[in-house]
Amino acid sequence: MGPTVVITGGNRGIGLATAEEFARRDHRVVVVARNPAAAGEAARLGADLVAGDLSTLKGVRAVAEALAGTCPRLDVLVHNAGIWPSARRLTEDGFEESFAVNHLAPFLLNHLLEDRLSRVVQVTAGLYGTGQVDLARTPAGADFSPLRTYANTKLCNLALMPLWAERWRSRGITIDAVHPGVIRTGLGDRSGLAGVLLRAAKRLWKAPADGAAPVVRLALDRAGTGRYFDVDRELPLASVAADPARAGELWAQAAELTGVA
């Protein structure tokens, strides 16, 4: 069996298509998914399943423990799990759900697994540049918006990527981020008229396999670290994500909220 690839949210959409491609390349694939029903898809691929809830700190720690038990090494960790909520929902820890899944979960997993990491790929969204993070309000969704909250959480997460790159540079661990394009998945699905219009628009969007291609390419590319790609094109981070002082504040807050040293 080849290198081990762990994919969060690997049971559907871009995550599943990424898992399928790595399985085709004879990598060992480990799928992290909230729903145990994903075991069927994992088995079809010959992949292992780690079931866990990345919306809670307890759930993230349980996933990390399970991965540490089944993966002596993680050649590639793909942070793909993400949600785009239509309404404000709080987790048992008191965080807005997408802030917990899109931002705190990858941050905590990186900390808990860094002694066995080699390569990390963060799946992000080009909308991050429209984010407007309020350190006091965003964590609990006091500034919730069905349109902007997703961008806010992706901005929080992406702003820390250069700090991870610097932290890991001497250890040989690399990290890059990629916006895979506008892809036809269940992300952001809505009910009512808005949902009908969105589903109609998605018919024109690219298939999950198209979104998986830049993720796989970047996972296999160790030529650099701390880079951001829009599909296959490397771009500098937008100024809103490239402020070191702001990134430091976001890091300190995430460390405090997740309880890491």
How far apart are alpha carbons 58 and 69 in whole angstroms?
17
Closest residue by Cα to residue 260 from 107, 97, 65, 155? 107
Catalytic residue among 99, 150, 168, 228: 150
Three-state SS for the chain is: CCCEEEEECCCCHHHHHHHHHHHHCCCEEEEEECCHHHHHHHHHHCCEEEECCCCCHHHHHHHHHHHHHHCCCECEEEECCCCCCCCCCECCCCCEHHHHHHHHHHHHHHHHHHHHECEEEEECCHHHHHCCCCCCCCCCCCCCCCCCHHHHHHHHHHHCHHHHHHHHHHHCCEEEEEECCCECCCCCCCCHHHHHHHHHHHCCCECHHHHHHHHHHHHCCCCCCCEEEECCEEECCCHHHCCHHHHHHHHHHHHHHHCCC
Enumerate the β-bridge partners of residue 51.
Answer: 33
- The amino acid at residue 11 is N
Is 128 catalytic? The answer is no
Catalytic residue numbers, as ranges: 150
